[in-house]
C-alpha cells in the first residue's frame, strides 16, 4: 500500500466496527473519494470493513470537490482471523497492520503479532 500522507492530516479518530482484539492484523487501505468526513466509509471491496478513520469537521476535500481521503481497515475471508490455519498462518498480506498500532494520524505497523512469527529481515 502506498502511504498517502494526506490521508492522515485531518484524522480525528478511528472507528472500529468490530472488536480489534480478535484480529492479529487488519488490512489498511486509503479510500480517495469518500463523500463524508465522519460517517462510515462505504465498502464494496472484497472482504469486510472492520474500521475506518473519522475526519475533523474542517477537513478539506481531496482532489475532487466534496470527496475526502480516508483510511479504511478490512479483512478478507481467507485472512488469519477467519482461517487461523490458512494461507496467512505464519505471514501476512502486504497491506497488513497490527490494529493495536493504529491511531489517528499514525500509520499502522506490521508487528510480529501481525506477521504471526518473527518478522523477516527487511
97: CB partners within 8 A, 6+ apart: 25, 26, 27, 28, 73, 107, 108, 109, 110, 114
Q: What is the mean pLDDT of residues 14-31?
A: 96
Cα torsion through 93, 96, 98, 104, rounded to 10: 180
pLDDT number for residue 94: 94
pLDDT number for residue 2: 63
Per residue in 78-116, pLDDT tens? 999 999 999 999 999 999 999 999 999 999 999 999 999
Across the chain, mean pLDDT equals: 93
Per residue in 98-108, pLDDT tens? 999 999 999 99
Q: Give all strands of the β-sheet with 68-75 in edge-to-edge order.
A: 11-16, 48-55, 68-75, 26-34, 96-97
**For the chain, percent of residues with pLDDT exceeding 90:** 82
Q: What is the mean pLDDT of residues 34-44?
A: 91
Give the three cell numbers for residue 18. Answer: 468490530
Q: Is 21 strand, coil or helix?
A: helix
Amino acid at each position: 500500500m502506498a502511504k498517502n500522507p494526506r490521508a492522515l492530516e485531518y484524522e480525528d479518530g478511528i472507528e472500529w466496527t468490530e472488536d480489534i482484539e480478535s484480529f492479529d492484523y487488519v488490512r489498511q487501505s486509503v479510500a480517495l473519494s469518500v463523500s463524508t468526513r465522519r460517517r462510515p466509509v462505504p465498502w464494496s471491496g472484497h472482504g469486510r470493513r472492520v474500521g475506518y478513520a473519522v475526519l475533523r469537521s474542517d477537513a478539506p476535500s481531496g482532489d475532487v470537490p466534496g470527496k475526502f481521503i480516508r483510511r479504511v481497515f478490512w479483512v478478507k475471508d481467507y485472512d488469519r482471523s477467519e482461517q487461523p490455519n490458512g494461507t496467512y498462518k505464519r505471514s501476512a498480506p502486504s497491506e497488513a497492520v497490527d490494529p493495536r498500532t493504529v491511531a489517528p494520524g499514525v500509520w499502522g505497523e506490521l508487528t510480529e503479532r501481525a506477521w504471526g512469527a518473527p518478522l523477516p529481515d527487511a
